[in-house]
Amino acid sequence: MSIVHGGPAPKFFNQLLFDMMVGRKVHLTLEDVQDIDMKGKIKKLKDCTNLEDIDLNLSSAGLSTIMNISGCWRPVRNLEDRDFLVQDLLHFVVVGRVTEALSQLTLGLKTLGLYDRMKENPAVFEEVFLNNSNAEIAAATMEAIFVDITFSLAGSNRRKTEEKIVGFWRDFLLDIEENSTELELNLSEVLAFATGADSVPLLGFDPSPSITFTECGRFPRANTCAMEIALPLNVTSFEEFKESMIFGIKNSPGFGKA
């Protein structure tokens, strides 16, 4: 529902889950097993180098019971059979156990036709569903989002000041992009300060976020309902502007994520 109505992307799938959902062929490995105990048992079987160790491992580790439950019992006559058995066990543990949950998730994604679009355009939807926690908003993206700027009359003294402040704003975004750890502020927080959302909705903002200016104090102001940020004019240097922006954003009360 969030996707169809232009809300934030969920980004809660991993690559394996997404590939299974869109019908891609997957090759399972031990790293895909989240159950630590089961992962250890399958690894011991995979590391066996002779039939005696394989038989001993199957009986002592309790894998025989799991093989019977899963329907993947097979005689192991050589190391190739061992590898086939490992793959069968991986498929049961990673996929077979969650078949019903996957079925329910697929049914939910069929709401409003979303699942069909996913299967038709998997490459497009990867960005929507995959959990890429390292992805950060770029300064160029922020500039493009806040392209609507309410300037004073051209040629006026106030207009010249406003243009200088917009220059500070653009340098400020670049500074955060390059030094977010040092500044203890990232561009997602700046976006949330102005719009209430810490990521760009899939269909973009409506209305577009805008920039205005304020002479009331040295700190920025925001109206998240109108998605408007007011930049302070009462600063004379970039360093002063940056300090005022960081302090104002980090110490502002708010509604949290919207």
pLDDT exceeds 90 at position 145: yes
Q: What is the mean pLDDT of residues 2-30?
A: 86
The pair phi, psi for residue 134, each rounded to 5°, is -85, -10
Q: How confident is the model at residue 203 (pLDDT cuts 50, 70, 90)?
A: confident
Q: What is the pLDDT of residue 255?
A: 47
Q: What is the mean pLDDT of residues 235-251?
A: 95
Q: Which amino acid is at 135?
A: A
pTM for this model (two decimals):
0.59
Q: Where are the alpha helices (DSSP H) in 130-209?
A: 139-145, 157-183, 187-195
Domains of the chain in start order, with CATH, are 15-129 (no CATH), 139-250 (3.30.2410.10)
**Predicted confidence (pLDDT) per residue in 85-97, tens digit:** 888 889 888 888 8
